[in-house]
C-alpha cells in the first residue's frame, strides 16, 4: 500500500515539475540559434539608418578630476590618467569616424569639466564641445549627446550625488545649461547612461563610485536616477518640444543557470525585474520600486538600448571581488568573462518595444584585444538588428561600443572594446580588421 502511495507521490511530483518547466519554457524561452546555418552577411537596412560608434567622456578625454578619479585613488584601481587624450586629439578621432563612413556619434559631456566647483562655469570647455559639434555636423555625422555617463563633479558626489533627492536641481541646472548652449545644433539627447548599472555597481557591488554596498541605498538611487531623468526630460522638452530625448538602458537578461532548479528560476525572474522590469514600469506607469514618480510616465522620445549579454543566475552568485559569469557549454566567453549571446539582443529589443517609441541601439560591442571574436560578434549582432527591422521593429541606429580602446572603469585599460587599437604609450590609433569590416558593411548598406 505505502509503495503505491510513494509511487503516486513521485509521479505526481514529476508531472508537476514537468508542467512547470514546460510553462517556463513557453513563457520565458532562452533561444539559442545554430549559427552555422545562419547567413549573417545577409543584411538589409533601411535608407536613413544611422551607423555610429559611441564613447564616454571619462573613458576617452583624459586628465579629469571627478567622482571616478576619487574612486580610482581610494580603491587603488588603475588610473584613468590621460585616457585616449581625446580632449586634444578629437579632430583626428573624428577623421577616423569619417574614414569608417559613420553618420552618427554618441558621446558624453563631462559635467566636472564644465562646473569644477559649484556655480563656477567653464565657458572655454563648453566652447570645445560646441566646436566638436560643428565639426561633426560638417562631416555629416549626427551628434548624439549623453548628459550623464557615470561621471560627475567631486563636489556633487560629496553631497551624495543621486543618493540625495535634494541634489537633483543641480543636475537639472547643469543639463539645462548644456542644452541651452548646444540644442540649436543637437537634436538627439540621452539624459542618463545605464541607470541600473550605475546604481547597482556603485551602491550594491561597490565596484563603481561611491563604492557602497547597500540594497536600501541602491533602490533609493534607482528611484532618484529615474526622477533625475524625468525632470530633465520635462524641462528640456518645454524649452524645445522638437528635441528627441531618451535614456540609454542596458538590458542585461537574467536566465536561470539551471533551468530545472526551483531556486534559480525565481531568482532570475526577480533579478530581471529589478534590473529591467522596474525601470520599464517607471516609464510606462510613472511608478517605480513602490514609489510614485508621475513625471517619469512617457518621458521618452526614443529608447536607447545597450546590449551585451545574458547573466546565468544561480544561488551562489559571488557579490564580492571579481564578478564571475557562468556560461552555457556551447557559448563562447568574451574577454570580460560573460558569454557572447547575440540571441539575447533580439529579446532585449522585444523587451523595450512595448515602450512604443523608436529604438536607437546606443551601445553594443565586445572586449577583444586580439580582435579574434569581434568580427563574428559584430556580424551576429548586426544580423539580429537587420532581422528585427525586417520584422517591423522601429530601430533607427546602431552605435558600436567603441570607436577605440579606452578606460574601462573598474577594469582599467585591460578590456579593449575598440574598432581601433590604441597604444596608450604613444596614443597611436590603428584600425582593427573588425573596424574595416564595419566600414565595408556601412559602405554596402
Ligand atoms: O564601457 C562601458 C560603457 O561605459 C557603458 N556600457 C558598457 C561598456 C562596456 O563595458
Q: Which of 148, 198, 408, 411 to mutate to test the pocket of ligand 1 (most atoms within 8 A of CB)?
A: 408
Going by pLDDT thresholds of 50, 70 and 90, the confidence category of residue 5 is: low
pLDDT of 17 above 90: no
Ligand 1 residue neighbourhood (C-beta within 6 Å): 56, 59, 194, 306, 363, 401, 408, 417
**From 8-12, 215-219, 248-252, 370-374, the region with the lowest mean pLDDT:** 8-12
User: What is the average pLDDT across 348-371?
Assistant: 98
Report pLDDT for 346: 98
Task: Check if CATH label 3.30.70.890 holds for domain 45-444.
Answer: no
pLDDT of 1 above 80: no
The residue ranges of every structural domain in the chain are: 45-444
- CA 201 to centroid of ligand 1, rounded, Å: 12
Going by pLDDT thresholds of 50, 70 and 90, the confidence category of residue 386 is: very high
Task: Find out whether 170 and 156 touch, Cβ atoms under 8 Å.
Answer: yes
User: What is the average pLDDT across 411-435?
Assistant: 98
Going by pLDDT thresholds of 50, 70 and 90, the confidence category of residue 274 is: very high
Report pLDDT for 317: 67
- Which atom belonging to ligand 1 lies closest to the Cα atom of 417? 9
Going by pLDDT thresholds of 50, 70 and 90, the confidence category of residue 9 is: low
Instruction: Look at residues 206, 229, 204 and name the one whose alpha carbon lies nearest to residue 217.
Output: 204
pLDDT of 288 above 80: yes
Going by pLDDT thresholds of 50, 70 and 90, the confidence category of residue 189 is: very high
- CA 161 to centroid of ligand 1, rounded, Å: 20
pLDDT of 25 above 90: no
- Which atom belonging to ligand 1 lies closest to the Cα atom of 409? 1
- CA 256 to centroid of ligand 1, rounded, Å: 24
Residue 296 neighbours by CB distance under 10 Å: 27
Task: Find out whether 256 and 265 touch, Cβ atoms under 8 Å.
Answer: yes
**From 26-35, 46-55, 402-411, the region with the lowest mean pLDDT:** 26-35
Report pLDDT for 27: 61
Asked, as a colleague might, if the bond just before 210 is cis with ω within 30 of 0, I would say yes
- CA 275 to centroid of ligand 1, rounded, Å: 16
Exposed, middle or buried: residue 29 (CB in 10 Å: 0-12, 13-18, 19+)? exposed
Q: Which of 106, 199, 361, 363 to mutate to test the pocket of ligand 1 (most atoms within 8 A of CB)?
A: 363
- Kindly report, residue by residue over 313-348, the tens digit of the pLDDT: 998 766 666 677 999 999 999 999 999 999 999 999
pLDDT of 16 above 70: no
pLDDT of 26 above 70: no
What is the rounded distance in angstroms from the CA atom of residue 407 to the CA atom of residue 138?
28
- Which atom belonging to ligand 1 lies closest to the Cα atom of 406? 1
Strand partners, 146: 108, 190
User: What is the average pLDDT across 58-84?
Assistant: 98
Q: What residue owns the CA closest to ligand 1's atom 1?
A: 408
Task: Find out whether 308 and 381 touch, Cβ atoms under 8 Å.
Answer: no
pLDDT of 22 above 80: no
Q: What residue owns the CA closest to ligand 1's atom 2?
A: 408
pLDDT of 40 above 80: yes
Tell me how far the alpha carbon of residue 153 is from its chain's centroid. 21
- CA 403 to centroid of ligand 1, rounded, Å: 12
- CA 165 to centroid of ligand 1, rounded, Å: 26
pTM of this structure: 0.95
- CA 208 to centroid of ligand 1, rounded, Å: 12
Report pLDDT for 323: 73
- CA 408 to centroid of ligand 1, rounded, Å: 7
Report pLDDT for 21: 60
> Residue 7 in 3-state DSSP?
helix
Going by pLDDT thresholds of 50, 70 and 90, the confidence category of residue 15 is: low
Average pLDDT across the chain, whole number = 95
Going by pLDDT thresholds of 50, 70 and 90, the confidence category of residue 414 is: very high
pLDDT of 12 above 70: no
Which ranges in 286-408 belong to alpha helices (H)?
343-352, 374-390
The upper half-sphere exposure of residue 80, i.e. CA atoms within 13 Å in the direction of its Cβ, equals 25
What is the rounded distance in angstroms from the CA atom of residue 49 to the CA atom of residue 237?
24
Amino acid at each position: 500500500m505505502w509503495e503505491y502511495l510513494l509511487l503516486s507521490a513521485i509521479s505526481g511530483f514529476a508531472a508537476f515539475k514537468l508542467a512547470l518547466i514546460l510553462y517556463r519554457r513557453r513563457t520565458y524561452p532562452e533561444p539559442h540559434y545554430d549559427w552555422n546555418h545562419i547567413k549573417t552577411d545577409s543584411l538589409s537596412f533601411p535608407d536613413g539608418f544611422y551607423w555610429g560608434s559611441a564613447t564616454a567622456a571619462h573613458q576617452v578625454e583624459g586628465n579629469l578630476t571627478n567622482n571616478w578619479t576619487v574612486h580610482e585613488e581610494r580603491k587603488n584601481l588603475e588610473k584613468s590618467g590621460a585616457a585616449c587624450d581625446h580632449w586634444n586629439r578629437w579632430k583626428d578621432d573624428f577623421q577616423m569616424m569619417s574614414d569608417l563612413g559613420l553618420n552618427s556619434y554618441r558621446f558624453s559631456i563631462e559635467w566636472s569639466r564644465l562646473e569644477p566647483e559649484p556655480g563656477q562655469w567653464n565657458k572655454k570647455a563648453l566652447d570645445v564641445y560646441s566646436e566638436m559639434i560643428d565639426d561633426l555636423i560638417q562631416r555629416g555625422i549626427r551628434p548624439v549627446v549623453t548628459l550623464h555617463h557615470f561621471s560627475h563633479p567631486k563636489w556633487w558626489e560629496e553631497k551624495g550625488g543621486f543618493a540625495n533627492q535634494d541634489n537633483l536641481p543641480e543636475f537639472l541646472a547643469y543639463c539645462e545649461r548644456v542644452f541651452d548652449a548646444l540644442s540649436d545644433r543637437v537634436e538627439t539627447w540621452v539624459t542618463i547612461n545605464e541607470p541600473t548599472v550605475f546604481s547597482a555597481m556603485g551602491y550594491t557591488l561597490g565596484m563603481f563610485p561611491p563604492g557602497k554596498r547597500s540594497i536600501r541605498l541602491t533602490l533609493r538611487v534607482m528611484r532618484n536616477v529615474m526622477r533625475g531623468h524625468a525632470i530633465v526630460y520635462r524641462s528640456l522638452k518645454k524649452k524645445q518640444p522638437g528635441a528627441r530625448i531618451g535614456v540609454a538602458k542596458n538590458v542585461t537578461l537574467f536566465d536561470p543557470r539551471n533551468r530545472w532548479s526551483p531556486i534559480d528560476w525565481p531568482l532570475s525572474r526577480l533579478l530581471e525585474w529589478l534590473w529591467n522590469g522596474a525601470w520599464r514600469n517607471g516609464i510606462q506607469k510613472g511608478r517605480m520600486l513602490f514609489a510614485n514618480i508621475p513625471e517619469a510616465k512617457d518621458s521618452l522620445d526614443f529608447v536607447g538600448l545597450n546590449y551585451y549579454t545574458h547573466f546565468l543566475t544561480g544561488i551562489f552568485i559571488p557579490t564580492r571581488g571579481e564578478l564571475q559569469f557562468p556560461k552555457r557549454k556551447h557559448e563562447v566567453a568574451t574577454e570580460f568573462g560573460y558569454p557572447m549571446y547575440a540571441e539575447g539582443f533580439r529579446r532585449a529589443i522585444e523587451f523595450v518595444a512595448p515602450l512604443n517609441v523608436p529604438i536607437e541601439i546606443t551601445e553594443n560591442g565586445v572586449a577583444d584585444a586580439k580582435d579574434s571574436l569581434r568580427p563574428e560578434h559584430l556580424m551576429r549582432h548586426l544580423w539580429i538588428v537587420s532581422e528585427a527591422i525586417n520584422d517591423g521593429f522601429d530601430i533607427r541606429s546602431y552605435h558600436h561600443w567603441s570607436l577605440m580602446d579606452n578606460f574601462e572603469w573598474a577594469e582599467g585599460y585591460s578590456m579593449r572594446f575598440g574598432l581601433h587599437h590604441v597604444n596608450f604609450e604613444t596614443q597611436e590609433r590603428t584600425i582593427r580588421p573588425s573596424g574595416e569590416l564595419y566600414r565595408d558593411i556601412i559602405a554596402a548598406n
